[in-house]
Structure 1
């Protein structure tokens, strides 16, 4: 009986520590999709520079109406190209996925303690590990080959069912999406509605 009680207490502590990130409104990003809100617990403990840049872009309204330009079934949904991905202002189907923002690229903040599993949010980058800027992706499934190669910036705490409904891309074209879904509105919870 004692062992069971200890396991219950341990499980409660693990849940409480995991939820601590979501409880901080300053580090909670809410993405409104066509099928509902997605709540992301940002992880400044893992990637302080990346999280700071994401929050600046959110607060500038840069992510609003940006397309999910690359979505691969069973892998991930990529978005965040604020230069070429805004579906209401300057969308460029040929260039989307190659742009960033007016902010500088970031040095890698790779984590060895966290893993790319379902719901993890990671920063997209070019071949240079220090080239992440504004684009990020949300994992549909585990991808251990990304561990230690890409920066983890957060975890979906609520709304994965809305992420699962994002329009998939053409597998023959590496997930490129024609007439893509978008992030309708993105905000930091501390800023209110």
Structure 2
């Protein structure tokens, strides 16, 4: 099903034609970006995502760059909104998108859409940005995590955070639009709230194997 909340079609077209190859060749890894220690937020601005791919992903939130979007993410997280949601749109070499309770790409929260808060912070590997419809002010609850730099998205989508730990669990998210067996957010929490990860048995990494008809017909397990 075509997602309402998608990254611009021209960007996807650039990817399919190889137009972003130069960006990939000059990719900047997270370790190469230095943040001013005085600007690094405390536990209140750390988002923890416990994924079904095997562990916890820590995301540094940037309230100085996108205060309303950070507040929205924190509000929904504390409501338990993201718990159990799937990554419904995952494109190899591009990004993983989640935050839709319907799992179709057409849904969002009951809260009003947000006014865009574009900034100059680039879409580097691990950056977390808000998905939206065609209108700039249509972001609501869906967000995506970038696998590789995508500078064509800069100043067109609101960056509100970046993965600072656990990127290997993001890399392991199952691909597809939607994936045949979607990966999930088991639990989302704000670090200041001190929530422990789910029990080890709750983490069930998806095996790397060829998808069969049985897989396609199998029910999705929580």
Shift of 1:179: 2.4
Partner of 1:102: 110
Partner of 2:96: 77
**TM-score computed with the length of structure 2 as normaliser:** 0.70
In 2, Cα distance between equivalents of 1:18 and 1:185: 28
Partner of 1:190: 192
Does the C-alpha gap of structure 1 residues 15 and 146 become closer, same or farther in structure 2, counting only changes over 3 Å? closer
Partner of 1:127: 134
Deviations 1:144-164 (A, max 9, x none): 110010000100000000100
Partner of 1:172: none
Partner of 2:144: 137
1:43 aligned onto 2:62? yes
Shift of 1:17: 1.9
Equivalent positions of 1:8-47 (< 5 A) are 15=34, 17=36, 20-21=39-40, 24-34=42-52, 35-47=54-66
In 1, Cα distance between equivalents of 2:45 and 2:99: 18
Shift of 1:19: 8.6
Shift of 1:136: 0.2
Tell me which protein shows more strand as a share of its residues: 1
The alignment's C-alpha RMSD in Å is: 1.5
Does the C-alpha gap of structure 1 residues 16 and 50 become closer, same or farther in structure 2, counting only changes over 3 Å? closer
Partner of 1:5: none
Runs of 4+ in 1 over 6 A off after TM superposition: none
In 2, Cα distance between equivalents of 1:57 and 1:181: 20
**TM-score computed with the length of structure 1 as normaliser:** 0.80
Deviations 1:138-191 (A, max 9, x none): 00000111001000010000000010000011xxxxx32222110000000000
In 1, Cα distance between equivalents of 2:38 and 2:186: 26
Unaligned runs of 5+ in 2: 1-32, 196-222
Shift of 1:103: 0.6
